[in-house]
Amino acid sequence: MSTRAHNFYAGPAILPVSVLEETRDAVMNFANLGVSILEISHRSKEFDAVIQEAENDALAIMGLSAQDCAVIFVGGGASLQFAMIPMNFLHTKADYLVTGEWATKAAKEAKMFGAVNEAASSKDKNFNYLPKSYKFSPDADYVHITTNNTIYGTEWKSIPDVGSVPLISDMSSDMFGVKREWSRYSLIYAGAQKNLGPAGVTMIVIKRAYLEAKAKEQVPTMLKYKTHVDGKSLYNTPPVFGVFVLGKTLKWIQKEGGLDAIEARNQKKARIIYDVIDARPDFYKGTVTDKSDRSIMNLTWNLPSPELEDKFVAEAKKKQMVGLKGHRSVGGIRSSQYNACPVESVEALAKFMEEFYAANK
């Protein structure tokens, strides 16, 4: 597919070409049934196999067991989880690490259901670093962390020790892009449209023991995790198309060598761009103050002026590099280099950065 652009969009984001090809075929004829994946009943045995395989593959990638953990697929995006989590698990007080816009929104939603303690925050410097000290509450119902901050370009490399308090994480923008100590988390959620699939489906991994011991009973049916766990994501019609693409993407991750290979490639891609930024610090100004906090998923930087940034984006687009404009709330440049972003695209961007520097310094 030589006509494909170099895709650096932050989400919905690039998908593997092989997954797009399989999806294209399934849109016309799914499982040789003579119907489209867009037309199939979610109660059919053919789709049941799709959703079961996706659950099994997700757990296999994380090295978790179906006996200990459930995987469910729901709509509403990660933003719905901001409310569902406290609705189900916030009894008195919860700790939130506030390190970006999405973490801020998650904490705001939680305040509707109980007390929220900001155990740490980096909003004093517009989220350009990750906190190094924390004030956790030993009696908190849970600790919430956002592992990667898409807008600001920071990413937790190691997760603070929260003791025996349940740990809940929004991993929307680095899920399966890096390895994590998956067993540490009582609940993980991720909007699919970064590393997992298309917009419209959210994957949730939850410990069964946590659900049984800590979930509230008086929660509306569709907003209750137990509903979706007991119904194996089929209580109501799930995002069928999104789950299909997500399932194919999980197969691709396994074929690529699993998380060891995926993370190594992502680290390589990040180094290519950060090396250019670090070599030209007066021209390409990285927005994250501590290099150890830099994201390998979303790389952010500024140029000497907004006018140069606009020129950079416009000229890059002429070279079929799309999605490089920074988030509207912060401006600048952002290169989102998710799993399916090929090394060749990143190398092309690095070459363009050097050419642009030479022409505009």
Together in a domain, 102 and 211: yes
Together in a domain, 248 and 263: no
**For 76-117, how does the pLDDT look when each residue is reduced to its tens digit (9 = 90+)?**
999 999 999 999 999 999 999 999 999 999 999 999 999 999
The domain boundary residue, chosen from 255, 282, 303 = 255
| 170 included as an active-site residue | yes
Examine residue 10 and state whether it is found in any structural domain, yes or no.
no
Together in a domain, 219 and 289: no
The domain boundary residue, chosen from 232, 255, 278 = 255
**For 155-182, how does the pLDDT look when each residue is reduced to its tens digit (9 = 90+)?**
999 999 999 999 999 999 999 999 999 9
The domain boundary residue, chosen from 214, 236, 255 = 255
| Annotated catalytic residue, options 57, 95, 102, 207 | 102
| Annotated catalytic residue, options 194, 226, 248, 325 | 194
Together in a domain, 22 and 128: yes
Examine residue 6 and state whether it is found in any structural domain, yes or no.
no
Domain with residue 244: its CATH number is 3.40.640.10
| Annotated catalytic residue, options 170, 207, 226, 301 | 170
Together in a domain, 115 and 24: yes
Together in a domain, 273 and 219: no
Together in a domain, 244 and 272: no
pTM: 0.97
Find out whether 148 and 295 touch, Cβ atoms under 8 Å: yes
Examine residue 68 and state whether it is found in any structural domain, yes or no.
yes
| 194 included as an active-site residue | yes
Q: Which domain holds residue 84?
A: 17-255
Together in a domain, 152 and 135: yes
Domains in the chain: how many in total? 2
Together in a domain, 232 and 331: no
**For 222-257, how does the pLDDT look when each residue is reduced to its tens digit (9 = 90+)?**
999 999 999 999 999 999 999 999 999 999 999 999
Rounded to an integer, the average pLDDT of 307-330 is 97
Together in a domain, 74 and 182: yes
| 311 included as an active-site residue | no
Together in a domain, 248 and 308: no
Together in a domain, 185 and 153: yes
**For 14-70, how does the pLDDT look when each residue is reduced to its tens digit (9 = 90+)?**
999 999 999 999 999 999 999 999 999 999 999 999 999 999 999 999 999 999 999
